[in-house]
Amino acid sequence: MSSRLDYCNSVLAGLLEGDIRKLQCVQNAAANLVTHSKKYDNITPVLVDLHWLPVRSRILYKVLVLTYHALEGTAPPYIQSLLSLHPQLLVPLSLQVIPLNMLLEHYFLWC
């Protein structure tokens, strides 16, 4: 069952809240079935005992793991090709009090 919930997480990442709720109901029913708990028991401790993330967190986790592997170069090439890296200005905490225009002038002087 969990493999079916994890199937195509990149597609599931864009689901509306109502659809996520339906999948969460499926996961809750499966957790009740596996643990023989009652239908109206609080499901959160059951999911924690089973080490199951809620559906929305599951989807996010799987997408983040896939992204991490793509960035590290351990994902298949067809997935790595979907990412494009853009350089970003990293500002140390000690420089964050400098006004933005001065910071940008400093950045462009060094480029």
Q: Residue 69: what residue type?
A: H
**pLDDT at residue 90 above 80?**
no
CA distance 62 to 82: 16
**Is the predicted pLDDT of residue 65 greater than 70, yes or no?**
yes
| Average pLDDT of the segment spanning 67-96 | 78
User: What does the block give as tokens for 50?
Assistant: 């089973």
pLDDT digits (tens, 9 = 90+) for 11-50: 788 889 999 999 999 999 999 999 999 888 899 999 999 9
Domain ranges of the chain: 2-85
Residue 30 DSSP label: H
Output the pLDDT for position 52.
Answer: 92
Mean pLDDT of the chain: 80
Choose between 9 and 22: higher pLDDT. Answer: 22
Q: How confident is the model at residue 111 (pLDDT cuts 50, 70, 90)?
A: very low
More confident residue, 1 or 54: 54
**Residue (of 55, 58, 51) closest to 22 by Cα position:** 55
